[in-house]
């Protein structure tokens, strides 16, 4: 792997394939893509660490090299076929259950992998995000107290595992977007996915018709994912509801305006239940 060597050959970079808040993804030659982080974002550190560790497991694209493109860090990744599971759910809503099970199976495979020691501890990452969240003090304290009682772990946690970060091809499912990878217990990573599947606002700009389909399908999808994950883990899941509370508080720090009333309401409900 070249270590932030300047990428050679302007001809390598091709069409833009996708973009998010932190990065843009472009074709890179015929068989690869390059994920270029926006200036100031450091997600490439966790992403390259996680991907290097996942090499050979068959659940993520292979990391080919780390480059510097025009002053921006870029990860050159094996180019995967297929489309992301969110798009697939919209095109083929009748496959909702099969896709939910596939999402859970791939998540279990991820949690079978031991995390490298240099990834951050998920509990510390969550503590920082809860501290940072714009929350009434009593709700922040409530979430922090719960987090204090939760365990650390040594499993690879993705940190943002949802259908938009899973690519589905005929013969293979691959997990992408490892910028938030951490070290923790599986339940913690599982709870973040439950929160997103149940409550997260669909990406801004989603057409109304897909929003309708999503509302109808998401409960079925979330239940299918939860059942398969729970059934396949081979042991009783521990403290998922507690992790859900902490993730709900941490989610507030992402500042997604339309979600805030719902998140606060969920936290108030959990706090009332706990003090009853
Ligand atoms: N290895 C890959 N092969 C093919 N397409 C990819 C690959 N990695 C990312 N993409 C495309 O780029 C999009 C964004 O990638 P992602 O890693 O999720 O970045 P972001 O942080 O922008 O969400 C994906 O939805 C997918 O369309
Ligand atoms: Mg993504």
The chain-wide mean pLDDT, for the chain, equals 92
For a ligand 1 pocket test, name from 15, 16, 18 the mutation site with the most ligand atoms within 8 angstroms of its C-beta: 18
Q: pLDDT-based confidence at 62, cuts 50/70/90?
A: very high
Question: In this predicted structure, what is the pLDDT of residue 218?
Answer: 85
Question: In this predicted structure, what is the pLDDT of residue 24?
Answer: 97
Question: In this predicted structure, what is the pLDDT of residue 206?
Answer: 62
Main-chain phi, psi angles of 131, to 5 degrees: -60, -35
For a ligand 1 pocket test, name from 15, 16, 17 the mutation site with the most ligand atoms within 8 angstroms of its C-beta: 17
Measured in whole angstroms, the distance separating CA 104 from the mean position of its chain's CA atoms is 13
Cβ(77) – ligand 1 distance below 6 Å: yes
CATH of 83-275, one of 3.40.50.1820, 3.90.226.10, 3.90.1200.10, 3.40.190.80: 3.90.1200.10
* Greatest distance between any 2 Cα atoms in the chain: 65
Judged against a pLDDT cut of 80, whether residue 194 lies above it is answered with: yes
Q: Select from 14, 51, 16 the least CA-distant residue to 177.
A: 51
Question: In this predicted structure, what is the pLDDT of residue 3?
Answer: 42
pLDDT tens-digit map of 126-156: 999 999 999 999 999 999 999 999 999 999 9
pLDDT tens-digit map of 199-234: 887 655 566 666 666 676 888 999 999 999 999 999
Three-state secondary-structure class, residue 173: strand
**What is the Cα–Cα distance from 107 to 161, expressed in whole angstroms?**
8
**What is the Cα–Cα distance from 121 to 184, expressed in whole angstroms?**
6
12 or 263: which leads in pLDDT = 263
Cβ(47) – ligand 1 distance below 6 Å: no
**What is the Cα–Cα distance from 81 to 70, expressed in whole angstroms?**
27
User: Angle, to 10 degrees, between the axis of helix 240-252 and the axis of helix 260-275?
Assistant: 140
Judged against a pLDDT cut of 50, whether residue 2 lies above it is answered with: no
* Sheet with 172-175, side-by-side order of all strands: 83-84, 166-169, 172-175
Q: For residue 114, report the distance from its CA to the centre of ligand 1, in Å.
A: 24
Question: In this predicted structure, what is the pLDDT of residue 212?
Answer: 63
Q: Which atom of ligand 1 is nearest to the CA of 176?
A: 17
Cβ(25) – ligand 1 distance below 6 Å: yes
Residue with tokens 């989603």, as numbered in its chain: 206
The total of other beta-carbon atoms located within 10 Å of residue 180's CB is 21
Judged against a pLDDT cut of 70, whether residue 124 lies above it is answered with: yes
Question: In this predicted structure, what is the pLDDT of residue 49?
Answer: 98
Average the pLDDT over 86-105 and give the result.
Answer: 94
Q: For residue 257, report the distance from its CA to the centre of ligand 2, in Å.
A: 20
Question: In this predicted structure, what is the pLDDT of residue 105?
Answer: 98
Judged against a pLDDT cut of 90, whether residue 59 lies above it is answered with: yes
For a ligand 1 pocket test, name from 17, 23, 24, 25 the mutation site with the most ligand atoms within 8 angstroms of its C-beta: 25
Cβ(88) – ligand 1 distance below 6 Å: no
Question: In this predicted structure, what is the pLDDT of residue 199?
Answer: 87
Cβ(85) – ligand 1 distance below 6 Å: no
Q: pLDDT-based confidence at 198, cuts 50/70/90?
A: very high
Question: In this predicted structure, what is the pLDDT of residue 213?
Answer: 61
**What topology is assigned to 3-78 in CATH?**
Phosphorylase Kinase; domain 1 (3.30.200)
Q: Which residue's alpha carbon is at the smallest distance from atom 22 of ligand 1?
A: 20
DSSP string covering 79-91: PPPSEEHHHHHHH
Strand partners, 66: 3, 75
Within the chain, residue ranges assigned H as helices are 43-54, 85-91, 96-111, 122-132, 137-148, 186-199, 208-232, 240-252, 260-275
Cβ(240) – ligand 1 distance below 6 Å: no
Where do the domains of the chain lie?
3-78, 83-275
Ligand of minimum distance to the alpha carbon of 85 = 1
Residue 230 in contact with residue 211, Cβ under 8 Å? no
Average the pLDDT over 178-198 and give the result.
Answer: 97
Main-chain phi, psi angles of 200, to 5 degrees: -65, 145
Q: For residue 238, report the distance from its CA to the centre of ligand 1, in Å.
A: 32
Average the pLDDT over 111-116 and give the result.
Answer: 98
Question: In this predicted structure, what is the pLDDT of residue 5?
Answer: 46
CB-based burial, 65-83: b 16+ in 10 Å, e otherwise:
bbbebeebbbbbbebbebe
Question: In this predicted structure, what is the pLDDT of residue 202?
Answer: 63
Average the pLDDT over 24-29 and give the result.
Answer: 96
Cβ(84) – ligand 1 distance below 6 Å: yes
Question: In this predicted structure, what is the pLDDT of residue 117?
Answer: 96
Q: Within 13 Å, how many C-alpha atoms sit on residue 141's CB side? A: 3
Q: Which residue's alpha carbon is at the smallest distance from atom 17 of ligand 1?
A: 177
């Amino acid at each position: 792997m070249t270590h932030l060597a300047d990428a050679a050959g302007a001809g390598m970079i091709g069409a833009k394939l996708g973009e998010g808040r932190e990065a843009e993804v472009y074709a890179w030659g015929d068989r690869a893509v390059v994920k270029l982080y926006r200036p100031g974002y450091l997600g490439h550190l966790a992403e390259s660490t996680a991907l290097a560790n996942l090499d050979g497991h068959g659940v993520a694209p292979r990391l080919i090299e780390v480059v510097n493109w025009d002053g921006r860090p870029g990860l050159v990744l094996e180019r995967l076929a297929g489309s992301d599971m969110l798009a697939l759910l919209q095109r083929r809503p009748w496959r909702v259950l099969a896709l939910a099970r596939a999402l859970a199976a791939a998540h279990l495979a991820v949690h079978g992998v031991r995390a490298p020691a240099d990834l951050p501890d998920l509990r510390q990452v969550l503590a920082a995000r809860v501290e940072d969240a714009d929350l009434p003090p009593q709700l922040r304290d409530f979430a922090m107290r719960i987090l204090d009682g939760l365990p650390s772990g040594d499993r690879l946690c993705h940190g943002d595992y949802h259908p938009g970060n899973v690519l589905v091809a005929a013969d293979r499912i691959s997990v992408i977007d490892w910028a938030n990878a951490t070290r923790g217990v599986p339940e913690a990573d599982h709870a973040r996915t439950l929160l997103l599947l149940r409550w997260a606002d669909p990406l801004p700009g989603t057409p109304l018709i897909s929003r309708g389909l999503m509302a109808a399908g998401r409960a079925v999808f979330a239940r299918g994912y939860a059942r398969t994950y729970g059934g396949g883990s081979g042991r009783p899941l521990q403290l998922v509801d507690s992790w859900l509370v902490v993730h709900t508080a941490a989610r507030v720090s992402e500042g997604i305006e339309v979600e805030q009333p719902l998140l606060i309401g969920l936290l108030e409900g959990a706090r009332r239940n706990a003090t009853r």
